[in-house]
Amino acid sequence: MSDGGARILDRGYRRYDGHRTGVAGSFRTLVVHSMQRALGLKRSAAQKLLPGLAVFIAYVPAIVFVGLTVLIQDTLLANQNLVPTYADYYSFISAAIVVFSAFVAPELLCTDRRTGMLGLYLASPLTRNSYLAAKATAVVALLALVTLGPPLLMLVAFTIIGQGPDGPGALARVLGEVVLGGVAVAVLPASLSLAASSTTTRKAAASAAVILVLLASTAVTETLVEEAGAPAELFCANLLGLPFELVRRIYGEPSPDVAVAGIQTGTLIAAYAGWTLLFAGFTWLRYRRLAVDR
């Protein structure tokens, strides 16, 4: 606004008379800003370090494998199994998945409660449910960056260099498997980390809890099944291994563990869905009962 060089830049508080985007706008804004915060965008270099490192760890193997495929003859690679399958790829990046799972949700949920931002969000068109849905969307999208991005990168790169699926039909099938697999690996850890983050305002405590549950469930179930002769179905309590095994089923690849290979796919899906719903329900319940007093 100007008149002969004069400008009014700030008239103080004004009632907003413009277009209101409502719940959808608030939801979209919260998802975008949550993702920016978790990735350290528009924040200091120190805040970018951990998310940057996790993303780097997740993508490096994919880039290396694509590079190897380009540089070395494909027959040699096939003979020596130098390049893993899409399903096997997750074993290379499990550390990045654990770190990201433990970091993202605490950053997004604990901070809002500790700083009182939650109260401000709930003063907007968002309700507790839509707030949680936006945060869950952001967490899953961020985890998908690690779980979906690298295999997708490999698929695209292999297709471009002529080492991908044969024909559009096969490409569409593999693309579907990649997306489904990436989402499957993201959703369960996301729900676990949301549940852990709903119990405390301290990010470090929530992160530690997520790592502890993921690693402890793996160690305990593997010990019981492999060493103590417990039923193979106990593998369904392995919260880190369960999504990876489900991904193998999606790609139709055999499990390296014979006992696990014997578990019905339906049982695995039911266990996966059960854990996810349990953690999501726990988070919902915590937020429903949460007193927002500032």
Partner 1 sequence: MTSLVEVDEVSKWFGELVAVSEVSFAVGPGVTALLGPNGAGKSTVLRMLCGLTPPSKGEVRVLGGDPRRDLALSANIGLVPQQEALFEGYSAYGFVHLAAVLLRVADPDRATRAALELVELDPDDRRGVGTYSKGMRQRVKVAQALVNDPTVVVLDEPLTGLDPRQRLHLISLFQRLGEDGRCVIVSSHVLDEVERFGSRVLVMAQGRLAAEGDYRAIRELMDDRPHRVRVRCDDPRMLAAGLLGANGVVGLQLVGTDGVVIETLDAAALRRRVALAAQRADLRLHEVTPLDDDLESVFRYLVERR
**Nearer to partner 1 among residue 10 and residue 166 (C-beta):** 10
Residues 199-258 that bind partner 1 (CB under 8 A): none
* Among residues 1, 123, 228, 258, the one that binds partner 1 under rule CB under 8 A: 1
Residues 121-180 that bind partner 1 (CB under 8 A): none
Beta-bridge mates of residue 2: 7
CB 100 within 8 A of CB 143: yes
CB 136 within 8 A of CB 144: no
CB of 4 to partner 1, least distance (A): 5
Contact flags string 10-39 toward partner 1, x per CB under 8 A = xxxx--------------------------
CB of 2 to partner 1, least distance (A): 8
CB 26 within 8 A of CB 126: yes
Distance CA 171, CA 182 (A): 16
* Among residues 7, 19, 20, 294, the one that binds partner 1 under rule CB under 8 A: 7
**Nearer to partner 1 among residue 4 and residue 167 (C-beta):** 4
124 CB-side CA count, 13 A: 20
- Per CB under 8 A, does 44 bind partner 1? no
**Nearer to partner 1 among residue 116 and residue 281 (C-beta):** 116
Distance CA 120, CA 77 (A): 55
Neighbours of 152 (CB within 10 A): 17
Binding region for partner 1 (CB under 8 A): 1-13
